[in-house]
Amino acid sequence: MNNPCVIGVDFGSDSVRAILVDATNGQELASRVSYYPRWKKGLYCNPGTNQFRQHPLDYLETIEEVIKGCLSDVEAQTANLVVGISVDTTGSTPVAVNREGKPLAMTPEFAENPNAMFVLWKDHTSIKEASEINQHATKYKTDYLKYVGGVYSSEWFWAKMLHILRVDEKVQRAAYTWVEHCDWIPFELTGGKDVTQLKRGVCAAGHKGLWAEEFNGYPPNEFFTALDPLLKDQVQRLGTQTYTSDQVVGNLSSEWAEKLGLSRNVVVGVGAFDCHMGAVGGEIEPYYLSKIVGTSTCDILVTPEKLDFTLKGICGQVNGSVIPNMVGLEAGQSAFGDAYAWFKNILMWPLQHIYELEESMLQGIESTLLLKLSEKANEIVPDVKHPLAVDWLNGRRTPFANQNLKASILDLNLASDTISLFRAIVESTCFGARKIAECFVEQGVPVKGIIAMGGIPKKSPFIMQMMADILNMPIKVHKSDQTCALGAAMFAAVAANVYSNVGEAMAKMGHGFEQTYYPNSEVVGIYQKRYERYIAAGDVLENNLYDVQ
C-alpha cells in the first residue's frame, strides 16, 4: 500500500486511543488504547471534594505507547506513509504552564502538586468561582456570556484558573499562563518552547474561554481584573487569534519524530475537544444532534449559516468550532454512563468489602452486571407510577449549567426493587437528553434527528431504544468504535492537504451507520407523562432544595 496515512488520537477521561487510518478511504489499519497509569491508581484526585487532576506525564507516556503500538501492528514501511497527526481531548481541561509552555507539574518543585496538573473537565472545585463570574458579568453592558449560553460553568477554563490561583500561591507565582489540554499536546508534539507562540484552537477558546469574534478576542483585561486582581493581565497572555482544526500547528519535532519512528515531515493539526472532532468522525449533518455518549454526554449541532441570535442555556455557540464556516452549538450532560457506574458501584460494594470473593469472580460480576440489569429492566413495561429519578448525579451541564444540583429518586415504596431503580436511573438520563433537544427546538433551532456515538450506543440496545422512545425521534448509531479518533484523523488528512476541506474528508473517510432505532408508538405517550413529572420534580428540587448560587 502506498496511500497516505494519518493518525487520530483521542484523549478520554481514563485512557488515550489512537488509530492509524488510510487517508484515502478511512480504513482503520491499526488501533491501540492505553490507560493513564497515575490516574488509574487514583492519584491526585479526591472524589469527595470533586477534585479530579491528571498528571501531564500520563498523557505523554500513553500517546507514545499508542502511536508506537499502532505502527508496530502494520508493515514497517507504513510509518513512511504517515502525513499527519491530529488530537482531541476532554475539555475544559486546562493546566498552569511556565513561559516555555511546560506544565508546572513537569518541573521538580511541582511534580506532586495536583494544582500544577491538568484540571480535568469534571473537576467541580471551582463552583464558587463560576458563580462569581456569572454575577460579575451582569455588571457590564456587553454580555460577555452570550456565546456560552448565558451561564458560566465550574467545568470551564476561567473558573478553574481562578480557583487554583486563589488556593495555591506557589502555583500563582510560577504560572505564566494557562493552556487547554487540546492546545498543549500539538504544541508539545511540534517542539514548542515559547508559550506565546502556542496556537489556541477556536473550539476550546470559544466554548470555554469566552473568546468571540464580536469581542475581537476575549473580554477585556478590566473585566477579569475587576473580578479578581489575581487575573490581572492573564487575558493578555492568551493572545487574540484562534484557529480552526483544519489548520496546521507545525511539523513533528525531531525529538518526537525519533521517539515515534515517524518523519519530521508529518504535520500536526490544531487540536479540539473530543465531542467536536467526534461529531465530524460521526458524519454530522446540519440540524442533526450528534451525541457522544459515554461517562457524560457531549451534544453537538451545526448550522450552515450564522445565527442572528444567541441561544440560552447551552455550552457555546462558536463559528468554526466543529466544521469551518459552520456554527458549532454544544450542550451535554455531566453524567450519563457515570450514573450507571454509580449504581453498579453501590451494588458491588458488599461483594468487594464484606464477602471474601476471588478477584476473578468479582471482575466477572462487575463486567456483566449492567448488561444483566438491562436485560431484566427491558422486560418491564413502563408505567406512570414507577419510581422516577432526576439525573443530576454530577450536577447539570445543559440546559443552564448548575453544578450545585443533586440527583434524586422519587416515588419509592416497599415494592421498589433493584431493577425498577436501575430503570429509573436509565430513564432519567434519557429525559435529560430530551431536555437538551428541546432547549434547541424551543429557541428556534430544529433538531431533525439524533446521531449517536460512543460505547453505550453500540453496547446497549435497551438504553438506545428507550432514548428513541423518550425523544420520539429516530437515532442513528455510527459504525465506528472510535468516532472521536476517526474525526481527529479526518482533520489530520485536511491539515496534511490530502483533502481540501472537512466535508470531503467526511465523505471519503466516513464509516457510515450500523443501526437506526425508531420510536415505539405504544410507549411514547407513557414516557411523555413521565417526562412531564420529571420536569416538575426537577423544578421542585432546583427551586426549593438547593442554593443555586
Asked whether residue 266 carries a pLDDT value surpassing 80, the answer given is yes
| Cell numbers representing residue 254 in the block | 525531531
Query: Which set of grid coordinates corresponds to residue 496?
Result: 496534511
Residue 376: predicted pLDDT: 97
Give mean pLDDT, residues 484-499: 98
CA atoms of 109 and 76, how far apart (whole Å) = 41
pLDDT per residue as tens digits for the range 349-373? 999 999 988 999 999 999 999 999 9
CB 239 within 8 A of CB 196: yes
- Given the C-alpha cell 441570535, which residue does it identify? 309
User: What whole-number distance in Å separates Cα of residue 453 and Cα of residue 88?
Assistant: 15
pLDDT value of position 548:
44
Class level of CATH domain 337-478+519-545: alpha beta
Over residues 249-259, the mean pLDDT reads 98
502 pLDDT above the threshold of 80 = yes
DSSP 3-state of 280: helix
With a cut of 70, say whether residue 429 has pLDDT above it: yes
CB–CB of 393/311 below 8 Å? Answer: no
Q: Which residues pair with 516 in a beta bridge?
A: 476
CATH number for 5-282+480-513 (one of 3.40.630.30, 1.10.1520.10, 3.30.420.40, 1.10.10.10): it is 3.30.420.40
Does residue 547 surpass a pLDDT of 90? Answer: no
Distance CA 226, CA 158 (A): 14
**In the prediction, which pLDDT does 295 show?**
86
Closest alpha carbon to 152 in 240, 101, 87, 223: 223
* Matching residue, cell 469472580: 361
521-540 vs 461-471: helix crossing angle, rounded to 10: 80
Q: Which of 441, 509, 453 is nearest to 478 (CA)?
A: 453
pLDDT of residue 300: 97
Entry pTM? 0.92
pLDDT single digits (tens) 200-218? 999 999 999 999 999 999 9
Please choose, from the candidates 266, 245, 142, 157, the residue with its C-alpha nearest in 3D space to the C-alpha of residue 201.
245
pLDDT beyond 80 at 143: yes
178-183 average pLDDT score: 98
Q: Which three cell numbers stand for residue 385?
A: 407510577
pLDDT tops 50 at residue 46: yes
Q: Which three-class secondary structure state does DSSP give residue 376?
A: helix
Say how far apart CA 179 and CA 158 lie, in whole Å.
11
Please state, as a whole number, how many other Cβ atoms lie within 10 Å of the Cβ of residue 254.
10
| Residue whose entry in the numeric block shows the C-alpha cell 500536526 | 268
What is the average pLDDT score of the chain? 96
Identify the sign of the CA torsion 486, 488, 490, 493.
negative
Share of the chain above pLDDT 90, in %: 95
Check residue 404 and give its pLDDT. 87
What is each CA distance from 318 to 148, 272, 324, 458, in whole angstroms? 9, 13, 10, 29
pLDDT at 545 exceeding the cut of 90: no
**End-to-end CA distance of the chain, in Å?**
59
Same topology, domains 5-282+480-513 and 337-478+519-545? Answer is: yes
**Angle, helix 483-495 to helix 274-281, in steps of 10 degrees:** 80
Please give the DSSP secondary-structure letter assigned to residue 238. S
CA distance 273 to 261: 26
Q: Of 82, 74, 81, 85, which Cα lies nearest the Cα of 2?
A: 81
Confidence of residue 501 (pLDDT cuts 50, 70, 90): very high
What confidence category does residue 159 fall into, taking pLDDT thresholds of 50, 70 and 90?
very high
Task: Parse the chain into domains and list their residue ranges.
Answer: 5-282+480-513, 337-478+519-545
Nearest to residue 84, comparing CAs of 412, 495, 397?
Answer: 495
Return the C-alpha cell found at 230.
Answer: 489575581
Provide the 10 A C-beta neighbour count for residue 299. Answer: 27
Q: How do residues 223-252 score in pLDDT, each as one tens digit?
A: 999 999 999 999 999 999 999 999 999 999
In order of 11, 370, 373, 377, 418, the CA distances from 421 in angstroms are 33, 13, 10, 9, 5
Q: How far apart are the C-alpha atoms of 87 and 300, rounded to whole Å?
A: 18
User: 466 pLDDT exceeds 80?
Assistant: yes
Q: List, as one string, the DSSP characters of 443-510.
A: TT----EEEEESHHHHH-HHHHHHHHHHHTS-EEEES-S-HHHHHHHHHHHHHTTSSSSHHHHHHHH-
pLDDT at residue 55 in the model: 98
Give the orientation angle of helix 359-377 with respect to helix 337-353, to 10 degrees. 140
- pLDDT digit string, tens, across residues 302-354: 999 889 999 999 999 999 999 999 999 999 999 999 999 999 999 999 999 99
For residue 546, the model assigns a pLDDT of 58
15-36 pLDDT, tens digit per residue, is 999 999 999 999 999 999 999 9
pLDDT above 70 covers a percentage of the chain that reads 99
